[in-house]
Amino acid sequence: MRSQKTDIRQGLYLGFVSTVVPRQCGIATYNRDQVNNTVTDPRVDDWGLFSIVTNKNSEGLSLPYAPFERRHIEFEISQYHPEDFDKAGDCAVKIVENMKSAGIHSGFYIQHEFGLYGKNHKKDDSVVGLLKKLNENNIATVTILHTVETRPKEDQVEEEHKNKVMAGIFEYTDKAVCISPSAIQMLMEKYKAPRGKLIHIPHGVPETIITTSREELKAKYDFSRRFVFTSLGHISRGKGLEYAIEGFAKVLKGEHKDKNPLYFIAGTTHEEVAKQEGEIYWESCVENAKKLKIPGAIIDEKGKITDLYGKTIENIKEKNIVFLHRSLEDNEIPEIMQMSDIGVVVNLNEEQYSSGPGSQWTGRSRITIGTESIFFKDLERDGVGLLVPFRDSNAIADRMDHTLGLEKVDFNNLEYLASDLASTRTWPIVATAKLNLMEKLIMHRAA
C-alpha cells in the first residue's frame, strides 16, 4: 500500500484492472497501450495496476513485469479465486480514500472478457462483485467490453449466467465501452442495456513509425520480390489457420501462381492454451501444409531453419509457406506488418467484435482479409478489408487471388483507405477519448 501524499492539489488517480504484459494475452497488450497513452497526460497525478494473473506467487510478484509497470502494481488478483477480486476491491477503496484526502479524484478502468473473471459460464463472474464494491464507494468506473455474446447458449445454466453477468455490469459500471459500433444496438436488444450506458470508442491503432521500406524489410526476412500474405500473433484453434492454409494451397494452383506468393505464419501457441494442450493445434497446421504438399519451412526461436519434415535447410527462397515458431517481440510486430502485402485474420468467432491484429493491420495501412465477424463487418462498411465467410477455404483463396491480380493503382487505393481510417484511431486519440470520458464521470460523481 503506497503512502499518503502530502501535497494538496487537484489531479486524477487511475486504476487499471486487467491482465498485464508480460502475460501473453491480447487484453494485456491492449491495456499496456491504453496505460502508456493515458498516464502521461498532465491531468493524471498517479496510477496503479491491478494485475490479473493465473496463479499468484506467495514469494512476491508473479510475473517479470517491466520496471515501469512493476512500480505501479497495487494488487495481484489470482484469476480463479473470487476472494481475490474482493480483496482487490478493498485495496482500491483504501487507495481512493487516501487520494481523496490529498485532493486527488479517482476512477477505474476495467478490461472485461468472459473467462478472465471466472472459470467458465457456470461460475460466478467476479467482475460484478468488484464493480458493485467500487460503485457503492462512489468510485467512477469505465468497463471496456472485449467480448460481446449475443447468441443464446445451448446450456440454459450458461445462458442465465451470461445474462446475469451482463445485467450486473450495466447496473454497476458508469459506462461500458463498445469497441465496434454495431455492438451497441445488439447489447441493447439482447440485454436491455439502459440508454446512455453504452458508448463506442474504437480499438486503438499503434503509432509506431517505421521508415524502412516494404522491400527493404522483405529482404531482411529473405522474402525479396515475393507477394506476402501474413497471419501473426498467439495461435489457438479459434484462429482458423487451417482454412487459410487450405485456401492458399488452391492459390498455388491458380492463375497467379507464377507470382510465387508466400504465406507467412508468425507466432506460437497462446500460453494458456499451451498449458492445456501443448502445441497440438500448431502442429496440426504444419501437418495440413504437408498434406497439401505446400513447399514450406519452419524457423525456430534460435533462427534454425528446417523444412516441414525437420530437415535442416539453408534458406527459404523456394518455399511458399513459412512458420516463424516463436513469441514475437513488441517491436517485431509492426515491422512484420510493414513488410507484408496482405494481412490474414480468419478467426472463427462470429461474435468477435474486437481485434488487436485487425486494428494493427489497419494502422500499418495494410489490406486485410478477415472473416465476417462484427469487427470486420464494421471495417468493411468503412471501405477497409476484404470479407470472407467462416470456415470457407474457397472464399479465402478467391480473395487471395483477387489481391494478387490487382493493378498497382487499385492496390494502393485500398491501402490508402486503411491509412485514412487509421489516422482517426491512433492510441493517443483513443486514450484521450477514454480519459475525457473518465474525467466527466468523476466530476459527475463528485457533484
Cell numbers placing 132: 458493485
The pLDDT, as a whole number, for residue 7 is: 40
Residue 223 has pLDDT above 70, yes or no: yes
What is the share, in percent, of the chain residues with pLDDT greater than 90?
71
Q: pLDDT tens across 403-416, in order? A: 999 999 999 999 99
Judge whether 177 and 144 are in contact, CB under 8 Å: yes
Annotation: CATH topology of 11-204+427-446: Rossmann fold (3.40.50)
The pLDDT, as a whole number, for residue 381 is: 86
* Same fold for the pair 11-204+427-446 and 214-422: yes
Residue 134 has pLDDT above 70, yes or no: yes
Identify the three-state secondary structure at position 381. Answer: helix
Residue 110 has pLDDT above 80, yes or no: yes
Say which amino acid occupies 137.
N
- More confidently predicted of 120 and 27: 27
- What CATH number does the domain located at 214-422 have? 3.40.50.2000
* Number of C-beta neighbours around residue 355 at 10 A: 25
Q: What is the four-CA torsion angle of 198, 202, 203, 208, rounded to 10 degrees?
A: -150
The pLDDT, as a whole number, for residue 262 is: 98
In the chain, what are the domain boundaries?
11-204+427-446, 214-422
Residue 111 has pLDDT above 80, yes or no: yes
Contacts 24+ apart (CB under 8 A), 80-86: 80/54, 80/119, 81/56, 82/118, 82/124, 82/126, 82/129, 84/56, 85/117, 85/126, 85/127, 85/129, 85/130, 86/126, 86/129, 86/130, 86/133
Judge whether 390 and 371 are in contact, CB under 8 Å: yes
β-strand 11-18 against 175-178: which pairing, if any? unpaired
pLDDT band at 348, cuts 50/70/90?
very high
Q: pLDDT tens across 276-300, in order? A: 888 999 999 999 999 999 999 999 9
Gap between the Cα atoms of 49 and 95, Å rounded: 12
Residue 138 has pLDDT above 90, yes or no: yes
Prior bond to 152 cis, omega within 30? no
Gap between the Cα atoms of 346 and 283, Å rounded: 18
Q: pLDDT tens across 46-77, in order? A: 999 999 999 898 889 999 999 999 999 999 99
Residue 272 has pLDDT above 80, yes or no: no
The pLDDT, as a whole number, for residue 119 is: 58
Residue partners of 130: CB distance under 8 A and separation at least 6: 17, 85, 86, 88, 89, 110, 117
The pLDDT, as a whole number, for residue 253 is: 95
Residue 1 has pLDDT above 60, yes or no: no
Cell numbers placing 48: 496503479
Q: pLDDT tens across 292-327, in order? A: 999 999 999 999 999 999 999 999 989 999 999 998
Gap between the Cα atoms of 249 and 291, Å rounded: 10
Judge whether 367 and 246 are in contact, CB under 8 Å: no
Q: pLDDT tens across 67-103, in order? A: 999 999 999 999 989 999 999 999 999 999 999 999 9
Most confident range (mean pLDDT) of 82-86, 143-147, 360-364, 437-441 is 437-441
The pLDDT, as a whole number, for residue 123 is: 61
The pLDDT, as a whole number, for residue 6 is: 37
Average pLDDT over the chain reads 91
Q: What is the four-CA torsion angle of 276, 281, 287, 291, rounded to 10 degrees?
A: 140
DSSP code string of 209-225: ---S-HHHHHHHTT-TT
Residue 246 has pLDDT above 80, yes or no: yes
Identify the three-state secondary structure at position 420. Answer: helix
The pLDDT, as a whole number, for residue 330 is: 80
Q: Which residues are bridge partners to 228 per DSSP?
A: 262
The pLDDT, as a whole number, for residue 411 is: 95
Judge whether 403 and 370 are in contact, CB under 8 Å: no
